[in-house]
Amino acid sequence: MRTPISYFLVVSALLFTVGTVGVLVRRNALVIFMSIELQLNAVNLALVAFSRMHGNLNGQVLAFFSMVVAAAEVVVGLAIIVAIYRRRRSADVDDASLLKW
């Protein structure tokens, strides 16, 4: 008996919520980053689950794309975080609030 799709989607929604709350409440840039990864993986899980439900590979292909993009994003994002940390000795995102009026 196959596991129903709703199981996967509930797990995916929980993961996404955890990620979202992490992004909104945490101040450390690295933790925020990890929370974003959590969101991305939640979406990947949903995609793969839908792929299985429909019986084709479209969702899986999209999940691979999202992983590649996430990897690239991590490279750029971590580089920025490291640069900011070196300059300001802080990885707190609320400290880096210069881009405003």
Partner 1 sequence: MLRNVWIVPALPLAGFAINLFFGKRLGRWAGVLASVLMLASFAVALGLLADLVRLPGDHRLFVRHLYEWISVGSFRVAADLRVDPLSMTMVMVVTGVGALIHVYAIGYMEGDPRYGRFFAYLNLFCFFMLTLVLAQNFLLLYVGWEGVGLCSYLLIGFWFERPAAASAAKKAFVTTRIGDTFMLIGIVLVFLRLGSLDFTHVLVDLRKIPSPQLMQPPGVYTVIALMLFAGAIGKSAQVPLHVWLPDAMEGPTPVSALIHAATMVTAGVYLVARTHVFFEISGVALTVVLVVGLVTALYAATAALGQDDIKRVLAYSTISQLGFMFLALGLRAYAAAIFLLVTHAFYKALMFLSAGSVMHGLEGEADLKKMGALRRAMPVTTAVFGVGALAISGVPPFAGFFSKDQILAAANQTGHVFAWIVALAAAFFSALYIARLIFLAFFGDDRTERHAHESPPVMTVPLGLLAVGAAFGGLLGLSAVTGRLQTFLAPVLGEVAEPTRGLSEASLTLVSVVVALAGVLLGWFVYGSGRIDWVALRVRLSSLQRFLAHGWYVDDIYAGVLVTPAKAASAFLAYVFDLHVIDGMVNGLGQLVTGLAAAGRRVQTGLVRNYALAFLVGAVALFVYVGFRL
Give me the residues that bind partner 1 (CB under 8 A), please: 20, 23-25, 27, 32, 93-94, 96-101
For residues 65 and 26, give the distance between their C-alpha atoms in angstroms, rounded to a whole number: 27
CA neighbor of 32 nearest in space, from 93, 95, 89: 93
Q: What minimum distance in Å lies between the beta carbon of 3 and partner 1?
A: 26
Nearer to partner 1, 39 or 44 (CB): 39
For 78, the token pair is: 């971590």
Please give the backbone phi and psi of residue 50, each rounded to the nearest 5 degrees, phi first: -65, -35
Helices (H), ranges, the chain: 5-25, 29-54, 58-88
The pair of structure tokens assigned to 49 is 């689950």
Nearest CB to partner 1, comparing residues 19 and 41: 19
User: Are the C-beta atoms of residues 59 and 47 closer than 8 Å to each other?
Assistant: yes
In whole angstroms, the minimum distance from the beta carbon of 69 to partner 1 comes to 17
Cβ nearer to partner 1, comparing 3 with 97? 97
Smallest gap from residue 29 Cβ to partner 1 (A): 8
At closest approach, how far in Å is the CB of 94 from partner 1?
A: 6
| Residue whose CB is less far from partner 1, 61 or 69 | 69
